[in-house]
Structure 1
Amino acid sequence: MEIRVTRDMMSDIYFDALRIRNQVFVKEQGVPYELEVGNALEEASAVHFVLYDEGVAKGTVRLLTDLDEKTALVQRMAILKEARGHGYAAILIDRLIEFAKETKLNKLELHAQLSARGLYSKFHFNEVGQIFEEAGIQHIQMERTDFSDQ
């Protein structure tokens, strides 16, 4: 198992990420494609992580950093339906936390679908604010500011 990382929108890694996101968000959850892909500037500035098991892409997540590069927004976490239940999301979250430490980020923020907030809580993300709707799905903002070993 490996996680490949890219910023290159012409790479096979990026295309694997798009394929997974399209399958999970657009086809399964009914999110309009235009909302899912977002704008080209965000896509180009994001760091895209794709988890491969035996050479097959199974899950993805992207990370957008702010202008001072001390805060990053975790977005588009998606695991293919047939690959769920194998701990892939946890492996991706561990890699995001490792990336935060490596790049000396102060904070990771995310908008968790309500069904996933328990997963993020296990990794010491705290809920912030009220439940809100995004792309027709209920979410809660969560963040993590402590990247010491826990």
Structure 2
Amino acid sequence: MTDYTRHFGSDADTIEMAHAVRRRVFIEEQGVDEAVEMDGRDDAATHVVLTDGSDPVATARFRFADPSTAKIERVAVLPDSRGQGLGSRVMDAAESAAVDDGATVAVLHAQVSVRGFYRELGYEPVGEQFEEAGIPHVEMRRRLG
């Protein structure tokens, strides 16, 4: 099994690695408009990036919606790296960092096609399906800690 390195922060290097994964997954693979994906909120978020050597392969970011609620966003794994548990690993890292920063709840907007993945991690849907960036989503939430 590959030994992936975790990177945390909102520094330029970490954001650049996160952008590389997000550009490949959301913009190139899923057709999300670049202006929507690169939303100007990266400096206010904590990013988690997993690297294989020096290559970024998975990412997530979180911001605080309120002092106890972390909003986890932009969860992505490169196509060639899927099926190895990296989605769970990057989510675990984001949740742990959020708890360290005071979060007791995590909320996210899950693409409907992967809501089963988030259910397996303990997230429950809240409300009705909606569209975000042209893709069907559902809000999900989970108690942390």
TM over 0.5: yes
Cα distance in 2 for partners of 1:102, 1:47 equals 12
Tell me the percent identity: 34
CA contact (8 A) 2:20 2:56 kept: no
Aligned residue in 1 for 2:64: 65
User: Is 1:20 matched up with 2:18?
Assistant: no
- Indicate the residue corresponding to 1:45 in structure 2: 44
Matched, 1:137 2:120: no
Structure 2 regions of 5+ residues with no counterpart? none
CA distance in 1: counterparts of 2:73 and 2:44, whole angstroms:
13
Q: How many aligned residue pairs are there?
A: 142
| 2:95 equivalent among 92, 97, 119 | 97
SS where residue 105 of structure 1 aligns? coil
**Letter of the aligned partner of 2:123 in structure 1?**
F
2:73 alignment partner, SS class: strand
TM-score (norm 2): 0.92
User: Under a length normalisation based on structure 1, what TM-score does the superposition of the two structures give?
Assistant: 0.89
> What is the alpha-carbon root mean square deviation over aligned residues?
1.2
Partner Cα distance (1:72, 1:3) in 2: 19
Pick which of 51-60 and 70-79 moved more. 51-60
Report the alpha carbon displacement of residue 20 of structure 1 after superposing the two structures with TM. Answer: 0.8
